[in-house]
Structure 1
Amino acid sequence: MVKVTICGAAGGIGQPLSLLVKLNPQVTELSLFDVVNVPGVGADLSHINSGAVTKSFLPSSREDKTALADSLKGSDMVIIPAGVPRKPGMTRDDLFNINAGIVQSLAEGIAENAPKALILIISNPVNSTVPIVAEVLKKKGVYDPARLFGVTTLDIVRANTFISQLYPEETKPTDFEVRVVGGHSGETIVPLYSLGAKSHFEKLSDEQKKTLINRVQFGGDEVVQAKNGAGSATLSMAYAGYRLAESLLKASAGTPVTECTFLNLDPSIKGAAEAKKLVGGLEYFSFPVKLSKDGIAEVEYQILEQVSDAEKQLLAVAEEQLAKNIEKGVSFVNK
Structure 2
Amino acid sequence: MASQRIARISAHLQPPNSQMEESCVLKRTDCRAKGGAPGFKGVTADISHMDTGAVVRGFLGQPQLESALTGMDLVVIPAGVPRKPGMTRDDLFKINAGIVRTLCEGVAKCCPNAIVNLISNPVNSTVPIAAEVFKKAGTYDPKRLLGVTMLDVVRANTFVAEVLGLDPREVDVPVVGGHAGVTILPLLSQAKPPSSFTPEETEYLTKRIQDGGTEVVQAKAGAGSATLSMAYAAVKFADACLRGLRGDAGVVECAFVASEVTELPFFATKVRLGRRGAEEVYQLGPLNEYERRKMSWRKAFRRGFPSSGNSFSPSEANYVKLMSGSLYLDRYASSISEILKSIFYCGNMPFSPPEESQMINDMLRITHPSLTGLRVATISLVSPYGTSIP
CA RMSD of aligned residues (A): 2.0
Where in structure 1 are there 5+ consecutive unaligned residues? 1-7, 60-64, 266-272
Q: What is the deviation of 1:326?
A: 4.3
Of 184, 190, 204, the residue aligned with 1:189 is 184
1:316 aligns with 2:304: no
- 2:64 paired residue number: 67
The 1-side partners of 2:49 and 2:201 are apart by 47
1:9/1:33 contact within 8 Å kept: no
- Give me the TM-score of the superposition, normalised by structure 2: 0.74
Q: What is the deviation of 1:327?
A: 3.3
* SS of alignment partner, residue 9 of structure 2: helix
Q: What is the deviation of 1:24?
A: 2.3
The 1-side partners of 2:83 and 2:121 are apart by 9
Q: What is the deviation of 1:211?
A: 1.1
Q: What is the deviation of 1:318?
A: 4.7
The 2-side partners of 1:237 and 1:248 are apart by 16
1:327 aligns with 2:364: yes
Of 5, 10, 13, the residue aligned with 1:12 is 5
Q: What is the deviation of 1:52?
A: 1.4
Q: What is the deviation of 1:49?
A: 1.7
- 1:283 paired residue number: 265
* SS of alignment partner, residue 236 of structure 1: helix
The 1-side partners of 2:117 and 2:215 are apart by 25
The 2-side partners of 1:179 and 1:197 are apart by 9
Q: Deviation string for 1:78-127 (max 9, x for gaps)? A: 00000001001111111110111111111111111111100000000000
The 1-side partners of 2:104 and 2:56 are apart by 22
- 1:297 paired residue number: 279
- Give me the TM-score of the superposition, normalised by structure 1: 0.86
The 1-side partners of 2:162 and 2:226 are apart by 19
Q: What is the deviation of 1:329?
A: 4.8
Number of residues paired by the alignment?
305
Q: Deviation string for 1:126-181 (max 9, x for gaps)? A: 0000011100010011111110000001111111110111122xx11112111110
What are the within-5 Å matches in structure 2 for residues 1-335 of structure 1? 11-20=4-13, 22-25=15-18, 26=20, 28=28, 29-37=30-38, 38-59=40-61, 65-168=62-165, 171-197=166-192, 199-200=194-195, 202=196, 204-256=197-249, 257-265=251-259, 273=260, 275=261, 279=262, 281-301=263-283, 303-304=284-285, 306-318=286-298, 320=300, 324-329=361-366, 331-333=368-370
% identical equivalent positions: 44
Q: What is the deviation of 1:13?
A: 0.9
- 2:343 paired residue number: none
The 2-side partners of 1:291 and 1:125 are apart by 23
Q: What is the deviation of 1:21?
A: 5.1
- 2:311 paired residue number: none
Q: Which has the higher contact order (CA 8 A, sep 6+)?
A: 2
